Every structure is written in structure tokens, then in C-alpha cells.
Structure 1
Amino acid sequence: MKKIHIIGLGLLGGSFSLGAKKKIADLTVTGYDIDPQNQKDALTLEIISEVKETPDLDTDLVILATPADTLGDLLIQTLDTIGPNTLVFDVGSTKSRLTKLVANHPNRAQYLAAHPIAGTEYSGPKAALEDLLDRKVMIICELEKTDLHLKEKAYELFDALNLKLRFMDAEEHDRHLAFVSHLSHISSFMLGQTVLQKMADEKNIFDMAGSGFASTVRLAKSSPAMWTPILTENKENILNALDGYIANLSSFREKIAQSDSQALFEEMAEINKIRDILDLGN
């Protein structure tokens, strides 16, 4: 692999570049971002060597790392213009709409639907980390629809970055992400909102905020520009997740209102089993 082109030079796009350049010798990375400041920062931080709006025809990989609501048009435009030996993959948090959108595109075999389960609450080129993707999970959807030889280019990159590959259906991906990622961000944003509203009356509330609050609300620092389109793109799955979450909150509230200590204890003890699933130990 010699050439990678990245469209969207923020946290994920920048981290792919920094990680790849560290592991793959003589690699040239070009890129483009709609924000001129991101372009400047990406050049300064050596995320890219040159700003280009479109990739060269001999580019090996094109990585699309823009907000979810921009990926559809961008993917089609990219598939329309790339060379015959170029593979395109996106890193978007929703997959079903994209895969349906390009299902009949003549260059569908040059697309790999991918989603790395990696990130921080920060955004932009300055947030990029060369080891962000190390040992993280990369979900691949509809692998069988990608050209056998072209997908080897992606495997070379994923192996260099030490990514762990998982394979699933696009709709299954979106449904699961609504619960384990999208819902957790909504919860964090709404906790932050609730405390900010309280702070309007009680200025000292943050003096009592401990590590539990900080870790729970951390995701509320995430970029609205990234998360607004994710929430609308995966609306149906997120609404289903929210319905279940709100029902559980209401039920838990009722137990507190009734001072039902035994029911509260039993429910929390049952939920404690999530430690085993997440391997958090004691």
C-alpha cells in the first residue's frame, strides 16, 4: 500500500492517518476537509502531506470520515470518480442506509462498509491519536459484496493498526449501536442538561460532583455536529432504545417513590451482572 486519501480530517480520519503512517513505510496520505482550519491543522500535525479535494486515480484506499448525514452523497460521488483499483470505506456510525443507497451502484464492489468502535469526547485534527485504534473492534458489514482483491488493501491497514474485526448485517449493526453507543450518549447529554438546569438555581452544585458524575457525563462533551446526524440517521432504532430506557427509568422511579428497598436492591443486584459481560471485575 502506497497511497491513502482521507475525507474528513477530524478525530477518526486523523487517527487513521497517524496510526497508518507509524506502521506502514513510505505511505503517502492526502486529504480534504470542508473546514479550512482543519486542513491547516492536519498539515501542521502531519496528518496529511497535501490537501486534495479528490484522490489520485492510483490511490489504494479512500477513507470517508465525515458526519453521518453527509456520507451518502459523498460515498456516491467517490464511487463515481475513483480509479478501478481503489477501495473506499467509511467509518460512519450507521450502516443500513448507506448499504442500501449503493446496493446497485456499478462500483459497489469497491466499497467496504466499516465502523471502528473507537473515539473520545473530543473532535478535530488536534484530537487525533496514533494509537486510538489499537486493539479496538472494527465492524464490517456486507463483506461478501466487496471485491476479494480490493478488500485485501483494507485488511493490510486494519492489521497494521491492530484492529479486531467483527462481521454483521448492516441492520443488526444499527440496531445494536442504538443501545450500546447512541443511547449512552443521549443519557450523558441529558444528565448534563439536568445538572445545568439545577445549577441555574444552585451555583455550588458542581463542587459536589465526584468521579462518578464526571465519568457518566463525559460523553456530553462530544461534538453536536457529529451526534445530531447520527441521532436522526438511526432514528427508528434509537426511539426503540429510548422507549425501553424511559420505561425502566419510570419503573425505577416508582420503586423509589414507594420506598421499596427490597425491589431496588434486587433490581440493582440483577443489573450488577453486567460486570461479567463487560469484564469489569469487582
Structure 2
Amino acid sequence: MDAKDFWKNFSLGKELNVAGGFIFNGLKAFDSLENFSREDGIFEFFYNTSVGIERLLKIVVILIEHTDTLDQEEFEKSLITHNHLDLLKRISKKHNCGLSNLHNEFLELLSSFYKTMRYDRYNLNSIQDHDKERVSLVTFLEKHLGTKINYEDVFVTPNEWKFKRFIGKVVGKISEVLYDLVESEASAQNIYTYELPGGSKASIIFLAKKYNFFDDDIVWKELIIYLINTNDSSGILKFIREIEPLNFEPALVNEYLNVFKSDLKKHSYIYEIEEYYRDIDINDKRERFMMLKLLSDPNVSFNYKEDDF
């Protein structure tokens, strides 16, 4: 395998995994939005998604355009761009990607965000127009879903399933088309750029084709239902049952469950737990921390005998 093939096979293969990770993170950021009132979450969605798709586009461009006879330095310079549509046009010279005006509009939105919007608030003039990414996203959603989104008043529009499903379909279609081109171009060149590590974020996007987190929510909810209701016996279940629960408020259980969806929600309950810990003796607290540390540790085995139950 020469340097050219090694580059396309291994370096671009790693890059494909990176691109998929960014796309996954972007979709997760959108899923975590409770509503459209905060720019930081929208920025996170745009940033990760724009980077991921840009890198994916560049992989396809390299696989299509690169030859032994071109000027390598000039070719690499041509890749220094954040214009998603320009990259897509280079691909479209060989392949009919089958993307609609909707997808092109979204790619143009990503380009606009990455080239200008992400820097706008560094300018004094931003005080006049300080939330371009939010306005752009809301306008895009309102246009294509025929709905009105309120993000300024008390009664803000929640980020409902229809929004998550729509964004998942748009990003998913673009990702699927481009990954299929990676696979076909690499196969034609007898290289394996398209191979991905099992269980990676990229494999979830490109192989499992999962573009929303509905199934993920089902998983943790079913696990909680099992843990609360099970009469099964095992070492770890016995261990968990021996840990004295904190005095959380039963009426707030449905709110507490949101910590399994959001890191921010986890953080929001830290102070409440700290208050509960004030009533625990320092030595008991140390022991409790040691016990909690064992939970979810893959290197810990909880052995038990049937006679223990």
C-alpha cells in the first residue's frame, strides 16, 4: 500500500469516525434543547453539525478528486473552506446526490453559521442583532413545519418531538447520502475508508442510521422500571438494596427522571444532594462514596450465593 492509499484508507477512515462523532453530538445537543430560548444550546447544535458534515463532505471530495497527477499542495489548499454547498457542488460533478432544496438550504445555513454567525458576538454591532443562530434556526423550522415558535415570552414553545424528528431526518439524509458515497468510492478503489469502530458515535450515525434519541429514552426508562419493580436476585442488586436512599421528594420523581437525559439536569440537583449529605456522618459519607464508586465500574464483580437471599 503506497502513501496515497494509506492516507485514504487509514487517515480518512479516522476522519470519518471523527465526523460522525461531531454529527452525533450535534443531534444530541438539539435533542437536549428544552425550548429555543437559549442561544448556547443552539450554538452547540450548529457548531457540531456544521463541523461534522463539512469534514464528511471533504472526505468524499478527496476520494473523488484526488489522483497521482494533481498538485498535492494546491489540492490540499482547495480543501481549506467552510462552504458546505461549494463542497457539495464538487461532489455533484460526478454524482447526483439526490438532495432536495430543503437539504441544500440547511447546508447553506450551516455554512452561514460557521463562516459568520459563530463570530458575530465578538463585534460591537452584535448588540443590535445578538442571536442570529437562534433566529436562523427558528425561521428554518417555522418555514418547513408550518408552525410558530415562541422563545421570548413566558410561554415558550417546547422542543417537541416533531422538531427533533424533522432535524433528525434532515441531518440523517445528508449524512446517509455522503456516507454511501464514501463507501462506493472507497470500494471502487479497493480501500476500506468506510469501516468504523463498533459502538462508536459514528457507527450509530452511519451504520445504524439513528438520528434521534427516542430509543435511548426507552432504554433508560425500561431499566428504571426494572430496577424499581424487580424481585430478581443478584450480587449487584443486593449491593444496591443495602445502600440507604436519600430522602428525595416523591412528588418530584417525574422531574428527577430528567437527569437521565441531560447533564445540565444532573448538575441542577447537585445542591439538593449536598443538602441531604449534610445530615450524614462524615465517615458514613466516605463509605457511601466508596459504594457509589463501585456502581457501573466494569471491573467490579458482585458475586453472591443463593443462600444470601
* Same fold, TM-score > 0.5, yes or no: no
Larger relative strand fraction: 1
The bucket for the TM-score relative to the shorter chain is 0.3 to 0.5
Larger relative helix fraction: 2
Highest RCO, 1 vs 2 (Cα 8 Å, sep ≥ 6): 2
Q: Greater Rg, structure 1 or structure 2?
A: 2
TM-score (norm 1): 0.33
TM-score (norm 2): 0.31
